Amino acid sequence: MSRLDAGDVVRLAGTDYQMVIIGFADDEPEVDEVGGSWFCVWESEHYLFEEVFAAKDLILVQKERRRIPREGNIDFPVRHDSCELANSS
């Protein structure tokens, strides 16, 4: 089993509910793959639930696929004061 991380989709052994890990619940992350506990969230009947589960009780369904930002600068349009004055008349 690979190490669990925030963003991974997991399920609790013996259930069909899929949950998303949102963070580590312990003070210091365990190096051991089966150690530690995680905050998990899931939706059921239009309600959002959160609970802490031990890593050994979680089954990995899908690893998070991180999105890598593209290189380059983002140019935002500049709003000029003259545009504001023209629109206010």
Mean pLDDT by runs of 10 across the 89 residues of the chain is 80 89 76 72 89 92 70 58 54
In a domain, 87, yes or no: no
In a domain, 38, yes or no: yes
State which residues form the domain around 1: 1-63
The CATH code of the domain that includes 9 is 2.30.30
pTM more than 0.85 = no
- Asked if 23 and 7 count as a contact pair (C-beta separation under 8 A), the reply is no
Q: Give the amino acid at 29.
A: P
If one counts the domains in the chain, the total is 1
In a domain, 52, yes or no: yes
In a domain, 42, yes or no: yes
Most distant CA atoms of the chain, gap in Å: 67
In a domain, 14, yes or no: yes
d(CA 75, CA 72): 10
The tokens for 39 are: 């905050």
At residue 77, φ and ψ (nearest 5 deg) are -65, 145
Please name the residue that has the structure tokens 């899931």.
42
Please name the residue that has the structure tokens 């004061």.
81
pLDDT of residue 20: 92
